[in-house]
């Protein structure tokens, strides 16, 4: 089985209350691909410029990630993002976004990739997301992520894309805005009515809520004493979620619940380093250990 990850591979500049990191490997697809590669074979579909450092490419080459779809655009510049976090790390400001090669990227699937069973369309132009889903012959699970920019800029296109995806993931403020309700539970229902089979609402350090017509699952966040950098946590969540789902024989509600916990687990590692640094050394064994810890942290019995 294979997980296709499409989105941005970028260079980030990150400022937290404790440090400032420049020229750091970043991008939604980078984090999701690294997370997914802990579970299954990943295909990375993204565009970079000729300026993309070979040392960063080597980091991706060391994992179970097929880079045949990582296209270097002649004369192009790699996308860049700069962000600054507030004291409690729950809020951030975008300082700049340089689209670079992603301003006009027209993704083309390498031969054989149309058969990918699972696909993650990281936040991006909803038309592009829909086009990529359309290139797949018979995907078993597709997930579309989005951000406030596209909710504001292309709401109708986003709605259309949500209808073509199996799962939609977004963070709680985006869910509230898109569904026009302050209630996370109601937002899940409203977004589900828009067409996908399941809606994953990411609650940052508070965990996540998954809603489908068959199931409602709420998972708390893994309690971390220190968060180094939250950048990419949502994409790592998606990569872990879909990476795990790609490996199961049947996508049941029980497997989706496990996938949420795997996603949450990988996201909890992601925030322990700058950008995807922690994911570069993370092993499946460490993930499974923390998954079990998650269960120990959350388990309770119905009264005897």
Where do we find the tokens 């805005």? Answer: 177
208-212 and 216-219 strand pairing = antiparallel
99 CA to centre of own chain:
19
| Residue nearer to a second copy on the CB measure, 22 or 292 | 292
What values do phi and psi take at 138, rounded to 5?
Answer: -155, 70
| Residue nearer to a second copy on the CB measure, 76 or 221 | 221
Minimum Å distance from CB 38 to a second copy?
14
Minimum Å distance from CB 230 to a second copy?
11
What distance, in Å, lies between the first and last C-alpha atoms of the chain?
43
The DSSP-derived string for 168-237 is EEEEHHHHHHHHT-S-HHHHHHHHHHTS-SEEEEE-GGG-EEEEESS-EEEEPPP--S--S--TTHHHHH
| Residue nearer to a second copy on the CB measure, 98 or 206 | 206
| Residue nearer to a second copy on the CB measure, 75 or 249 | 249
Q: Would you state the structure tokens that stand for residue 27, as one six-digit string?
A: 């991008």
Residues that bind a second copy (CB under 8 A): 87-89, 176, 182-186, 188-189, 203, 205-207, 209, 216-221, 223-227, 254, 257-258, 260-261, 288, 291-292, 295, 297-303
Minimum Å distance from CB 217 to a second copy?
6
- CA dist 47 and 7 (Å) reads 8
Q: Would you state the structure tokens that stand for residue 248, as one six-digit string?
A: 């199961």
Element (H, E) at 295: helix 284-298
| Residue nearer to a second copy on the CB measure, 114 or 185 | 185
The residues with which 79 forms a beta bridge, in sequence order, are 10
| Residue nearer to a second copy on the CB measure, 155 or 223 | 223
| Residue nearer to a second copy on the CB measure, 124 or 204 | 204
Query: What SS3 class is residue 238?
Result: helix
Where do we find the tokens 């990988």? Answer: 266
Question: Which of 63, 41, 210, 30 is closest to 118 using CA atoms?
Answer: 41
């Amino acid at each position: 089985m294979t997980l296709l990850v499409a989105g941005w591979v970028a260079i980030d500049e990150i400022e937290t209350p404790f440090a400032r990191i420049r020229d750091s490997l970043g991008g939604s697809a980078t984090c999701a691909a690294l997370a997914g590669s802990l579970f299954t074979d990943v295909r990375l579909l993204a565009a970079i410029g000729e300026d993309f450092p070979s040392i960063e490419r080597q980091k991706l080459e060391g994992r179970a990630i097929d880079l045949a779809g990582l296209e270097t655009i002649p004369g192009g510049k790699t996308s860049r993002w700069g962000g600054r976090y507030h004291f409690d790390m729950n809020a951030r400001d975008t300082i700049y976004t340089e689209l670079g090669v992603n301003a006009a990227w027209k993704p083309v699937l390498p031969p054989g990739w149309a058969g990918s069973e699972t696909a993650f369309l990281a936040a991006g132009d909803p038309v592009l997301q829909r086009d990529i889903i359309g290139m797949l012959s018979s995907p078993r699970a597709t997930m579309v992520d989005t951000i406030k920019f596209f909710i504001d800029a292309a709401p109708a296109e986003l709605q259309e894309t949500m209808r073509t995806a199996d799962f939609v993931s977004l963070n709680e403020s985006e869910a509230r805005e898109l569904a026009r309700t302050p209630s996370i539970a109601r937002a899940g229902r409203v977004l589900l009515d828009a067409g996908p089979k399941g809606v994953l609402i990411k609650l940052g350090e508070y965990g996540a809520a998954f809603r489908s017509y068959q199931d409602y699952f709420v998972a708390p966040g893994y309690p971390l004493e220190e968060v180094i950098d939250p950048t990419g946590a949502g994409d790592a969540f998606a990569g872990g979620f879909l990476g795990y789902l790609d490996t199961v024989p049947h996508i049941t509600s029980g497997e989706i619940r496990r996938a949420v916990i795997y996603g949450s687990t990988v996201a909890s590692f992601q925030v322990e380093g700058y950008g995807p640094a922690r994911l570069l050394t993370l092993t499946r064994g460490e993930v499974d250990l923390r998954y079990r810890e998650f269960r120990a942290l959350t388990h309770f019995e119905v009264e005897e």
